[in-house]
Amino acid sequence: MHLDLHGKHALVCGASQGIGLAAAQELASLGATCILMARNAERLEAAVATLPGEGHRYLVADFTDGDAVAAKASEAAKLAPITLLVNNTGGPAGGPAHAADPAAYLAAFSQHLICNQRIVQAALPGMRSAGEGRIVNVISTSVKQPLDGLGVSNTVRGAVANWAKTLANELGPDGITVNNVLPGATRTSRLSQIAEAKSAKTGMSAEAVLEGMAQAVPLRRLGESHEIGAAIAFLCSPAAAYISGINLPVDGGRTRCL
């Protein structure tokens, strides 16, 4: 199987930890040169140091500031044409949809969909001139089955999924694939925060909350970030050249529909 990414340049967002960092590690292990983007410079520097190979770097940007994100994405695109793009950022706060402040929807829409759009627009000229590109968006299984207590997240993930499917139709003729990876319950600090919030609400321990999540998965365990990273890297690889416009759940079978 052709998985080699030597000579390719990747921009991986939300990559100072968790799923984004795991994606960068998998891409780098296949030979890609990575630029990591997130807010925390110290964590980014440490993250870059974990990547195999040479030439990796990081850029600091906060996805609550769309102009800054667009500027950094353009800076990245000037360093080398980005042909592999992983759109990822922190998940919105939990809570039921009906109780959410309307401003929380606007903020999530801006942080997820609008920032993705601005980064794609920065990367697109390079992808087009290279005649190839891979865009992978990290979203959630909630696009198939809404998750209780994640109202804003469920809503904005649906928007990103349909944006991505539309892009796949539009950009296919340029040799660019666009796909979504849908992580299930994956052991990262995001999941710990969700477990702590549920623990505070129910009185259950966070460990018991996580165990309950694991028991709801047919494989009876939580996912590991490298398992999501591997799926992202596969979709970026030459082996996945004919896969475009899909939602790929990586959830141990948890989603109860196809």
Q: Which is nearer to ligand NAP, 146 or 238 (CB)?
A: 146
Closest CA to 15 of 29, 36, 40: 36
Q: Which is nearer to ligand NAP, 63 or 163 (CB)?
A: 63
Q: Write down the least CB distance from residue 186 to ligand NAP, Å.
A: 4
Q: Tell whether residue 31 is a contact of ligand NAP (CB under 6 A).
A: no
How far apart, in whole angstroms, are the C-alpha atoms of residue 133 and residue 11? 12
Q: Write down the least CB distance from residue 225 to ligand NAP, Å.
A: 6
Stretch that binds ligand NAP, among 97-105, 120-128, 185-193, 195-203 (CB under 6 A): 185-193
Q: Tell whether residue 90 is a contact of ligand NAP (CB under 6 A).
A: yes
Q: Which is nearer to ligand NAP, 17 or 177 (CB)?
A: 17
Q: Tell whether residue 186 is a contact of ligand NAP (CB under 6 A).
A: yes
Q: Kindly write out the interface string for residues 120-139 of this chain, putting x where it contacts ligand NAP by CB under 6 A and - elsewhere.
A: ------------------x-
Encoded amino acid at 46, one letter: A
Residue 131 tokens read as 């005649």
Q: Tell whether residue 87 is a contact of ligand NAP (CB under 6 A).
A: no
Q: Write down the least CB distance from residue 223 to ligand NAP, Å.
A: 7
Encoded amino acid at 207, one letter: E
Q: Applying CB under 6 A, which of residues 5, 19, 23, 30 lies at the interface with ligand NAP?
A: 19
Phi, psi of 120 (to 5 degrees): -60, -45
Residue 140 tokens read as 């959630």
Query: 3-class DSSP state for residue 245?
Result: coil
User: According to CB under 6 A, which residues from 43 to 82 bind ligand NAP?
Assistant: 43, 62-64
Sign, CA torsion 178/85/51/89:
negative
Closest CA to 140 of 104, 190, 95, 178: 190
The half-sphere exposure of 22 on its side-chain side, counting CA atoms within 13 A, is 18
Q: How far is CA 72 from the centre of its chain?
A: 18
How far apart, in whole angstroms, are the C-alpha atoms of residue 88 and residue 107? 15
Q: Tell whether residue 190 is a contact of ligand NAP (CB under 6 A).
A: yes
Q: Which is nearer to ligand NAP, 88 or 255 (CB)?
A: 88
- Binding interface with ligand NAP (CB under 6 A): 14-20, 38-40, 43, 62-64, 88-91, 111, 138, 140, 183, 185-186, 188-191
